[in-house]
Structure 1
Amino acid sequence: MKIIFPKVLACLLLMWSATGCSKDSAEPQEEFFVKAQKDGQPWDKTGEGYFAMGKREFYVFSPDTIPVTTTEVLQLSFALPKKQVLSSVQALPAEWKLLIGGDGITDSYASTDGTGLPSIQITKLDTVQRIVEGRFEAVLRRKAVYTQQTELMRFTNGSFRVRYKELP
């Protein structure tokens, strides 16, 4: 009896430790995403991107992938210098849209002279697997066609990881 008990205990401990570290216990995380705090609330979408090779410009999008009647899309873009120095990317105007039926714009915010360009920092660029990662912050102003007042939308603590497609 003395010899069997330690072996059984060792087997139970081994089985417990093997099941305690399984991948099922971790929260699932999207492989490609665009996420931030939108006006102080968590905002997390799947992400995709495009690289216009002729202009040397990246476009990062956060479209909803599930077909719904309304879709919220954030577009971030930046120009990549010829030497591909990641710390010196030039941010381009950002835009947020609320679409109905996939193409009808019902609301829109954009970066303007009054709000400035977003802050974009590229942390990783993998040209073999075509993945770009980075951080961003943006203050967007509601377009005048939707309001007569100054209404701002703030994206803070933003990050993205997207696979991009190359365009000519």
Structure 2
Amino acid sequence: MNEIILENQIEEIEQITHYVTNKGNLFPFKDEYKEQMKREYIAENQQEWIKRGNIFKELREKLNITKAEMERATGFSSSTISKFEQGQPIMNAEKLEKSYSLYLENYQLKQIQTKRVDDSTIAHVQIKQYGKDLYIINLITTSDIEIHISDEDSMQWALDIAKTKFALPMNLPIIFITDDGEEVTLRNKISQ
């Protein structure tokens, strides 16, 4: 009987020792599993993040907006903005992307008001494809100035916006630019 009690005590001591040596983690492999899942998630999404980050960076630089201005506008640090533009994983990426996009759109609207761009200076509506689910709508002026309108995740939605808000009311052609740079005029002049 003493041997059974002794065996139970030894087993109990081993469990306590195991618990203490694993810093209270009863499942020592749980953290490793989380890290593996995190690495796999990053690997699956890295290319898309890089592509999106590059698009935002190009727009920011094209508009001559500094990272410091973007930092003030979004509330995110310059280093976080740099990571986002490089496609690195960051906390609150969706929130930063929305803030960033909103600031770019507002900035461009202010430019339009300042430059007094009117219907007669707009040459066409442009839809640029980036990857399989990002379509950027721009207005292109006769002097080749791009005015960013919106980012959409569906070609049909982008086409509907381009057609109903700009091509029809302003009697403009829509030019679609594929992911590999090929230009396709969807309609010379859109009619109802």
TM exceeding 0.5: no
Which of structures 1 and 2 has the larger relative contact order (alpha carbons within 8 angstroms, sep 6+)?
A: 1
Point out the structure with the larger strand share. Answer: 1
TM-score computed with the length of structure 1 as normaliser: 0.31
